[in-house]
Amino acid sequence: MADPLVYLNGNFVPYADARLGVEDRSVQFGDGVYEVVRYYDGRAFKMESHMRRLARSAAGIELTIPPVEEISRAMDKLVRRQNLQDAAVYLQITRGETARVQGIPRGLSPNVIAIARPASSVRPMPGMKVVTQSDDRWARCNLKTTMLLPAMLARSRAERLGAADAVFIRDGFVTEATAANVFVVRDGTVLTPPLSNYLLAGCTREALLELYAANGITAREELITHADLLAADEVFLTSTNSELRPVIAIDGRPVGSGEVGPLFARTLSLFDAATRTAVLA
């Protein structure tokens, strides 16, 4: 495919012309925040939720960003200008450029970057294997920052072990996967860990809880132990980029029957319907 158009600080520029300085704070310190927004049939899914989270993340690292309405309009224009229907838009805001210095410099101009690429939904969604791993990340995982090295290392370890992802365990309890929220099914009830500073408030997670409430499916936020995870009838991961992914094995042990479960199948059907309507826009 052709190189994508890039939104950079108020302008739409060719990919080859989009540049940041070598001393941008994101390069030096991972000093920035980001979001990924999916578009279905040319329409953003859960844009308001993404923008609220963006604002929370920016405030959490004391980063002043442009108005979120301006940012969301730019993302919409980026998708329209490339005639994209199903797309994923990666948005990153860095603190800006300055000579390398500790602390947080004041008066910098943030760099706002967005890139839209075509995206597709894999159906049927195949089952995946995961491994568990001790969660030794920093204690502000509720902020969606560009400091992703611990997650990348965990994903790399999982792949070396023949799995697709890692699920983090902190003090005996499930937090999240490397880039996804975790759901388990136990006796017909859907459970997901409650929000805290140790996991991200996923927009797809939010969408599923809304769908469950609207469709009479029992679901609740509840602490999930490592043992609960291994004993679950079904397990699945949710994220904007990967949507919903069923887990069929954890640490080499089958989940339930070792096949994609019925509640996941129903959830995926509800999710697919929601992405093609304005119900959860």
Residues serving a catalytic function are: 144
Decide: helix, strand or coil at residue 32.
strand
Rounded CA separation 50/53 (Å): 5
Element (H, E) at 208: helix 203-214
**DSSP letters of 74-89?**
HHHHHHHHTT-SSEEE
SS (H, E, C) 134-171: ECCCCCCCCCCECCCHHHHHHHHHHHHCCCCEEEEEEC
Element (H, E) at 234: strand 234-239
